[in-house]
A and B are shown apart, each in its own frame.
Chain A
Amino acid sequence: MKMNGARMVCEALIAEGVKTVFGYPGGAIMNVYDEIYKQDGFEHILNRHEQASVHAADGYARATGEVGVAMVTSGPGFTNAVTGLATAYMDSIPMVVVSGQVPLSLIGTDGFQEIDAVGISRPCTKHNYLVRELSDLPRIMKEAFHIARTGRPGPVLVDIPKDITAEIGDFVYPNSVNIPSYKPTTKGNNRQIDKAVSAILKSKKPLLYIGGGVVLSNASDLVRKLADMGGIPAVETLMARGVMGHSNPLLHGMLGMHGNYSSNMAMSETDLVISLGARFDDRVTGKLSEFAKYADVIHVDIDAANIGKLVAVDYPIVGDVYGVLEKMISGLEGKIKPDRYANWREVLERYNTLHPQSYRDSDEVIKPQWAIERVGELLGEQAIITSDVGQHQMWTAQHYPFDRPRQWINSGGLGTMGFGFPAALGAKRGCPEKTVINFTGDGSILMNMQELITASEYKIPVINIILNNRFLGMVRQWQSFFYDERYAETDLSYQPNFKALAEACGGIGYDVTSKEEFDAALEDAIEKDRVAFINVAINRFENVLPMVPAGGALYNMLLDDQQEEK
């Protein structure tokens, strides 16, 4: 069939089953938008900033497991998208971003809105393409989706010059992909898996170290099964919250810099780390030489480069966690009983009793942890929780009762402030039956607040709970601990009227200073079914604890808050 390149892009998206595209038009991508106007195979959501479009596509992908799609124009449209690409890249999120480019004849001439998109995005995409021939376009679109979702997932950029989208050619969308140089290893090596099974059977203190790869691989049920079979205790990374389910007695919670005491002690004392789709991030390991010092390490990862990158591995298994776990479970079947590691579990329980994850509640002021737990009580498993980046993110990861994978959406690797709100829009569009709550801070929310308009226009009723301490809280916390309380540029007391701001954009706003008001606001926001800002005044100097100071050993934690409330 003959058509122009712009139409080919739309046809490819439809063929890939794309239902929602987030984007923002501009000169170099106008041809494609003209074809979007003419089709009804997918909807387009007009965010009010390209960064938000990419985060929304990202949130959509994280919530649904499908490939998120965003579309931007050349030059500033693309550069605005870079933070979104980098965010998705660091967390291995499948995404395809289509960007316009100046016509081929203008490339390299410093043309209007020209920027080397492929050059800029190389280190923050899994792969990227500059389309030079119209005849390559269908294949490239097909490959982009394939690369984005297979192996270790990630964002792929397709940069298309304007003359290519105008040119007319034959369109045949390929049925299959043939990239001889790209064959990800997905099946773990059987002998390595057998050795890992023997190691588990020999171990006295094994520990499941669960990472975001388990979510990406949809392997949560298998992880739970493995844990149950042997009664193997587990810890989750920030990206894996929800995999085990908060009420699972085998789960010790999150580990790392703001992990709980028993999790970090478990990692410090285990004799066998069973790492599943985790990558030993510095925020998890603390001081490397003290990390899991007494343990052998089984490392299952689809990305061979993650194995042995930071920590020496005794049982490397390159492959998809799902398939590897199936084999591991069948290898352990009949050889392991749930009471096998009872002594070890008891040790960890004692640690948990000694220093449980807790906070001091107050009758005078709303504590952020209380607000998070309260939402958990009221909405629990029914909600999808997104967050921005900072103290509120850590408190949410610590205190929300996550029950299932894909319930918790946050920017872990890149730590992108401004991620939460647009990601919530994407998540809500992907899962309209869920209530979507974005826990955010008074710093982060301003970084993509223009999305109030998007949310109002498209009636995407996400609820932003602003845990407002009038500080750039996490930086303030570090200034308190490590910079002698010199609060350089972190006092955010000068701030907008959040309630009025939401209302000015067609949303609904609440100022909340008591627990009763909090409950009433949340209930009302859910009932009104509109985009909402719930501005919650919290105590200014609450710290995220426990904490392992950067570069310290996991077992050396700051446990209790000595900070005087001011």
Chain B
Amino acid sequence: MSDKTRRVVSVLVENESSVLSRVSGLFAGRGYNIETLTVAPVPDTNRSRITIVTKGSQRVLEQITKQLHKLIPIHKVVEHEEMVEKEMVLAKFPITESLADIQALCDAYNGEIVNVGSDMIIGMAADEPIRIKHFIEASSRYNPIEIVRGGVVAIER
């Protein structure tokens, strides 16, 4: 049963100081995997939303949901099935690379050039996680200096 499934989980939590450590500590302590984790306040509430991408067997995924539910400041755990998910990436290229090529690349992945300086170009893309992976692969041709990847955010359809 080494079949591991990828799962996106949204966790609605009380917006208090220790809640992120409760969630990440739970994953660490019980040996669950975290691929990405993003957290931000939910507008006009005192809650935050933590979006976690994880991987595990069915039994582990079930445990993750149940164990998260047990944490006192957690309101809701959503295991996404029908969802839109997006991830963002920033990439810095040397100014010697082709501005037009990079522009075209960013365009292809819902992005744009966000900054051009005397010695570098910064592009961004916002797309599905698998496409972000492709963007990173494609950008390797342009000798990226640095790539910064954000975590996944998801919303149920």
Q: Which residues of A contact B (CB under 8 A)?
A: 118-119, 122-123, 126-127, 130, 147, 179-182, 303-305, 308-309
18 contacting pairs across A/B (C-beta < 8 A): A118-B18, A119-B18, A119-B21, A122-B21, A126-B72, A130-B17, A179-B72, A181-B13, A181-B14, A181-B72, A181-B73, A181-B74, A181-B75, A304-B69, A305-B66, A305-B67, A305-B69, A308-B59
**Chain B residues within 8 Å of A127, by CB:** 72
Q: A122-B22, A122-B25, A123-B25 are in contact. Are A304 and B66 (CB under 8 A)?
A: yes
Contact of B63 among A130, A179, A182, A305 (CB under 8 A): A305
Chain B residue nearest to A127 (CB atoms) is: B72
Q: How far is the CB of A107 from chain B (nearest CB, A)?
A: 11
Chain A residue nearest to B14 (CB atoms) is: A181
The answer to whether B70 and A305 have CB atoms under 8 Å apart is: yes
Q: Confirm or deny: B62 has a beta carbon within 8 angstroms of a beta carbon on chain A.
A: yes
Q: Confirm or deny: B29 has a beta carbon within 8 angstroms of a beta carbon on chain A.
A: yes
**Chain A residues within 8 Å of B17, by CB:** 130
The answer to whether B14 and A123 have CB atoms under 8 Å apart is: no
Q: How far is the CB of A112 from chain B (nearest CB, A)?
A: 23
Q: How far is the CB of A124 from chain B (nearest CB, A)?
A: 10
Q: How far is the CB of A131 from chain B (nearest CB, A)?
A: 12
| Known A130-B18, A180-B75; further 7 A-B contacts with Cβ < 8 A | A122-B25, A179-B72, A181-B14, A181-B75, A303-B70, A305-B69, A308-B62
**Chain A residues within 8 Å of B62, by CB:** 308
**Chain B residues within 8 Å of A119, by CB:** 18, 21
**Chain A residues within 8 Å of B70, by CB:** 303, 305
How far does the alpha carbon of A202 sit from the alpha carbon of B28 in the complex, in Å? 43
Chain A residue nearest to B74 (CB atoms) is: A181
How far does the alpha carbon of A180 sit from the alpha carbon of B75 in the complex, in Å? 7
**Chain A residues within 8 Å of B14, by CB:** 181
Chain B residue nearest to A304 (CB atoms) is: B66
**Chain B residues within 8 Å of A303, by CB:** 70
**Chain B residues within 8 Å of A305, by CB:** 63, 66-67, 69-70
Q: Which residues of B contact A (CB under 8 A)?
A: 13-14, 17-18, 21-22, 25-26, 29, 59, 62-63, 66-67, 69-70, 72-75
The answer to whether A182 and B29 have CB atoms under 8 Å apart is: no
Q: How far is the CB of B67 from chain A (nearest CB, A)?
A: 5
How far does the alpha carbon of A81 sit from the alpha carbon of B147 in the complex, in Å? 45
How far does the alpha carbon of A285 sit from the alpha carbon of B122 in the complex, in Å? 57
**Chain B residues within 8 Å of A182, by CB:** 72
Of A122, A181, A304, chain B has the most CB atoms within 10 Å of the CB of: A181
How far does the alpha carbon of A130 sit from the alpha carbon of B17 in the complex, in Å? 10
How far does the alpha carbon of A211 sit from the alpha carbon of B125 in the complex, in Å? 54
**Chain A residues within 8 Å of B13, by CB:** 181
**Chain B residues within 8 Å of A147, by CB:** 72
Q: How far is the CB of B130 from chain A (nearest CB, A)?
A: 31
Nearest first, the 4 A-B pairs at minimum CB distance are: A305-B66, A127-B72, A181-B75, A123-B29
Q: How far is the CB of B93 from chain A (nearest CB, A)?
A: 39
How far does the alpha carbon of A532 sit from the alpha carbon of B15 in the complex, in Å? 52
How far does the alpha carbon of A126 sit from the alpha carbon of B70 in the complex, in Å? 9
Q: How far is the CB of B50 from chain A (nearest CB, A)?
A: 13
How far does the alpha carbon of A303 sit from the alpha carbon of B71 in the complex, in Å? 12
How far does the alpha carbon of A30 sit from the alpha carbon of B74 in the complex, in Å? 34
Chain B residue nearest to A123 (CB atoms) is: B29
**Chain A residues within 8 Å of B26, by CB:** 123
Chain B residue nearest to A132 (CB atoms) is: B17
**Chain A residues within 8 Å of B29, by CB:** 123
Q: How far is the CB of B46 from chain A (nearest CB, A)?
A: 11
How far does the alpha carbon of A513 sit from the alpha carbon of B66 in the complex, in Å? 53
**Chain A residues within 8 Å of B21, by CB:** 119, 122
How far does the alpha carbon of A182 sit from the alpha carbon of B75 in the complex, in Å? 8
Q: How far is the CB of B75 from chain A (nearest CB, A)?
A: 4
Chain B residue nearest to A305 (CB atoms) is: B66
Chain A residue nearest to B68 (CB atoms) is: A305
How far does the alpha carbon of A180 sit from the alpha carbon of B74 in the complex, in Å? 9
How far does the alpha carbon of A303 sit from the alpha carbon of B63 in the complex, in Å? 11
Q: How far is the CB of A358 from chain B (nearest CB, A)?
A: 40
Of A118, A119, A180, A305, chain B has the most CB atoms within 10 Å of the CB of: A305
How far does the alpha carbon of A130 sit from the alpha carbon of B66 in the complex, in Å? 25
**Chain B residues within 8 Å of A126, by CB:** 72
How far does the alpha carbon of A119 sit from the alpha carbon of B14 in the complex, in Å? 17
**Chain B residues within 8 Å of A123, by CB:** 25-26, 29
Q: How far is the CB of B88 from chain A (nearest CB, A)?
A: 29
**Chain B residues within 8 Å of A179, by CB:** 72
**Chain A residues within 8 Å of B69, by CB:** 304-305
Q: How far is the CB of B33 from chain A (nearest CB, A)?
A: 17
Chain A residue nearest to B67 (CB atoms) is: A305
Q: How far is the CB of B147 from chain A (nearest CB, A)?
A: 32
Chain B residue nearest to A308 (CB atoms) is: B62
How far does the alpha carbon of A489 sit from the alpha carbon of B25 in the complex, in Å? 35
How far does the alpha carbon of A119 sit from the alpha carbon of B75 in the complex, in Å? 21
